[in-house]
Chains A and B, each alone.
Chain A
Amino acid sequence: NAGVTQTPKFQVLKTGQSMTLQCAQDMNHEYMSWYRQDPGMGLRLIHYSVGAGITDQGEVPNGYNVSRSTTEDFPLRLLSAAPSQTSVYFCATLPYQRGYGYTFGSGTRLTVV
């Protein structure tokens, strides 16, 4: 099992460009989420999904879109990148049975210039 796979690991974008951060999991976890990590801010929830076809906003959703067409994939789209979106992005998954720990991907370091 690969667990949670995030691609790419590093990315540099110019202001205004769009891109998609990929998150794929092979554990059949129902719950998937995206966080961003900024210095001194901890991890903040962007969007999450409790299953295919269902998504919801987290604490900092502006500037990001998500969709969940399959259980395995939960891509995060930046429609028009801004320097404020420079951050490290983590994808996390959780099985529906409560009481398990979240599994995190290895992160994507994004720089917007």
Chain B
Amino acid sequence: AQKVTQAQTEISVVEKEDVTLDCVYETRDTTYYLFWYKQPPSGELVFLIRRNSFDEQNEISGRYSWNFQKSTSSFNFTITASQVVDSAVYFCALSEDRSGNTPLVFGKGTRLSVIA
């Protein structure tokens, strides 16, 4: 069965610090997708990134970067030079590729607080 673990429940950093959010996943499939979502205090879920299991290239988007390592089943998310607007709950999620039935399984989330 698929599982996503976000061991960090809450993280607090001072503005401009770098912060890494950890995500470890379990799956028996060789084809799968990994996601990160942001949930700001307003409550909506904002899609950040999708990564498929065949693409282990790290990705950078502005201050955001993602490190995908199949060898350790991890898909970590780093925010560089954090800002107060980054304060949110961040979810890592996994979708296995099975004939079109692709339920998304979420981790429990990491609450990030960035203090000015």
Contact = CB atoms under 8 A, between A and B. Distances in A.
Given A96-B100, A107-B43, A101 B105 contact: no
Q: Is the contact region of chain A dominated by helix, strand, or loop, or is it mixed?
A: strand
Q: How large is the interface on A (under 10, 10 to 19, 20 to 34, 35 or more residues)?
A: 20 to 34
Contact of B106 (A43, A56, A101, A107): A43
A98 B33 contact: yes
A86 to B, nearest CB: 15
Interface string B99-115: 01111111111000000
Contacts of A94: 102
B50 A42 contact: no
Contacts, number: 56
B64 interface: no
Contact of B104 (A45, A50, A96): A45
Q: How large is the interface on B (under 10, 10 to 19, 20 to 34, 35 or more residues)?
A: 20 to 34
A96 B37 CA distance: 20
B107 A42 contact: yes
Nearest to A49: B101
A41 interface: yes
Contacts of A44: 106
B103 A48 contact: yes
Given A35-B106, A42-B91, 11 more contacts: A33-B104, A43-B106, A45-B103, A56-B101, A90-B45, A92-B45, A92-B104, A96-B100, A98-B33, A99-B33, A104-B44
Interface of A: 30-31, 33, 35, 40-45, 48, 50, 56, 58, 88, 90, 92, 94, 96, 98-104, 106-107
